[in-house]
Amino acid sequence: MTVPLLDLSQQHAALLPDFCTIFERFVETGHFILGPDVEQFEQELASYCGTHHAVGTSSGTDALTLAMMALEIGPGDEVITTPFTFFATAGCIARLGAKPVFVDIDLTTFNIDPRQIEPAITEKTKAIMPVHLYGQAADMDPIMAVARKHGLKVIEDAAQAVGAKYRDQPVGSFGDIGCLSFYPTKNLAAMGDAGACVTDDEELAQKMRKLRVHGSGGGYTHFEIGGNFRLDVLQAAILSAKLPLLDGWLAIRRELADRYHRQLDDLQLGLPFEASHCYHTYNQYTVRVFGNQRDGLKAHLTAGGVGNRIYYTVPLHLQPCFKSLGYKKGQFPVAEEAAREVLSLPVHPDLSKAQQDQVICVVQEFFEGE
């Protein structure tokens, strides 16, 4: 039996009648850009995320770009963030002409270490961008305290963490703007690229709505230079159909994670950590494989028909395109250690008990053979 890392086929099969109705309606009306369906999803999403506003975007990457444009982050500015995340986090900062400034992570959560943020602040620092990696909330209390102390903006990269909570508050609702992704691998998955920004600030929300349509205030009058960051209407309707089911899917992911915890606890693995005040959504179930055994376990899983993936193999400070920033190997040892050790196992709402048993069995076989 093959166990894929992710399988949306059952989820989509169950919703196919809804999707067909949605598609037929759009074919009949011919309305494909913005409008009531996007507005409805934005209202539903804002309510889910505990914010006053949501602004749909064309992707999670564009959500990050839009958020920084709205906050007027650009050339000469610095944004403090983590080196252990998907490329878009720092790529969007650099694309706007600002400088990503990295600080190391906490190895228990894989998220930015709040203790290292303040020493990295300079007169050029304009924002902090924590990432809620793998569905685990970053430690927001000390991050927000540092931001308030120094008058800095906070942009939460919650691309992997829709539904996650920190002290019973949804991630994305702490900072000035939270950025979400609905890429098909995410817990709330579109059928293509999609994303959103959430905020409590009405002025920022209105500004982002203008910037996502080339800075237009309506018609062909442009007050600012924005971009084409609109959320596709079809994706908005699909996401509206899925959103009421999200909490149930997250509960299943947590049950699967708990079973992994119990079955793999006695192996030489670092299992995912969840702080007592957090609600982990397990967008990925990511373990640490000690003793230079990660590649061996990965090969063994693949040979056993078990999907797996490394998120992420190269920390951002060591990416060739960021060479000009001047960071060196060894500068962020915790992030580099994580990159050497992490491996993600299948965890999704349609993973059957038999499939999970196979994953567990193949992992156990590897360590028994050592």
Whether residues 212 and 260 fall in one domain: no
Paired tokens of 346: 């299948």
Show Cβ contacts of residue 40 under 8 Å, excluding neighbours closer than 6 positions.
236, 240
Asked whether residue 131 is assigned to any structural domain, the reply reads: yes
Paired tokens of 104: 């190391």
Asked whether residue 1 is assigned to any structural domain, the reply reads: no
Task: Flag whether the pTM goes above 0.75.
Answer: yes
Q: E strands within 8-77?
A: 53-57
In Å, how far from its chain's centre is CA 345?
17
For tokens 């990159």, the residue is 339
pLDDT score recorded for residue 57: 98
Whether residues 228 and 207 fall in one domain: yes
Identify whether the C-beta of residue 230 lies closer than 8 Å to the C-beta of residue 213.
yes
Band (pLDDT 50/70/90 cuts) for residue 93 is: very high
Whether residues 174 and 291 fall in one domain: no
pLDDT tens digit sequence for 304-321: 999 999 999 999 999 999
Least confident span in 11-15, 65-69, 129-133? 11-15
Whether residues 292 and 358 fall in one domain: yes
For tokens 């120094």, the residue is 150
Residue 41 maps to which CATH number? 3.40.640.10
Whether residues 294 and 222 fall in one domain: no
CA gap 161, 310 in Å, rounded: 18
Whether residues 57 and 124 fall in one domain: yes
Domain end marker among 214, 244, 274: 244
Paired tokens of 143: 């991050």
- Sign of the torsion angle spanned by Cα atoms 275, 281, 283, 286: positive
Residue 364 maps to which CATH number? 3.90.1150.10
Whether residues 292 and 221 fall in one domain: no
Q: Is the pLDDT of residue 223 over 90?
A: no
Q: From the CB of residue 194, how many other CB atoms can be counted at a distance below 10 Å?
A: 29
pLDDT score recorded for residue 118: 98
Asked whether residue 335 is assigned to any structural domain, the reply reads: yes
Q: From the CB of residue 213, how many other CB atoms can be counted at a distance below 10 Å?
A: 17
Helix axes 353-368, 246-264, angle to 10 degrees: 30
Q: Is the pLDDT of residue 370 over 70?
A: no
Asked whether residue 168 is assigned to any structural domain, the reply reads: yes
Identify whether the C-beta of residue 171 lies closer than 8 Å to the C-beta of residue 141.
no
Whether residues 57 and 152 fall in one domain: yes
Asked whether residue 188 is assigned to any structural domain, the reply reads: yes
Asked whether residue 3 is assigned to any structural domain, the reply reads: no
Average pLDDT over residues 109-128: 98
Q: Is the pLDDT of residue 226 over 80?
A: yes
Identify whether the C-beta of residue 147 lies closer than 8 Å to the C-beta of residue 154.
yes
Q: From the CB of residue 222, how many other CB atoms can be counted at a distance below 10 Å?
A: 13
Whether residues 137 and 267 fall in one domain: no
HSE-up (13 A, CA, CB side) for residue 280 = 23
Whether residues 205 and 293 fall in one domain: no
Domain end marker among 209, 244, 279: 244
Whether residues 289 and 226 fall in one domain: no
Burial class of residue 152, CB neighbours in 10 A (0-12, 13-18, 19+): buried
Asked whether residue 88 is assigned to any structural domain, the reply reads: yes
**Cα angle for residues 306, 312, 314 (degrees, 5° grid):** 135
Least confident span in 75-89, 90-104, 162-176, 218-232? 218-232
Give the domain range for residue 221.
9-103+110-244
Domain end marker among 205, 228, 244: 244
Paired tokens of 242: 């899925």
Average pLDDT over residues 153-165: 98
Asked whether residue 2 is assigned to any structural domain, the reply reads: no
pLDDT tens digit sequence for 162-187: 999 999 999 999 999 999 999 999 99
Q: Is the pLDDT of residue 225 over 70?
A: yes
pLDDT score recorded for residue 218: 79
Q: Is the pLDDT of residue 139 over 80?
A: yes
Task: Report the domain count for the chain.
Answer: 2
pLDDT tens digit sequence for 236-269: 999 999 999 999 999 999 999 999 999 999 999 9
Identify whether the C-beta of residue 95 lies closer than 8 Å to the C-beta of residue 65.
yes
What integer best gives the mean pLDDT of the chain? 96
Do the strands 99-102 and 78-81 form a parallel or antiparallel pair, or are they unpaired? parallel
Whether residues 238 and 250 fall in one domain: no
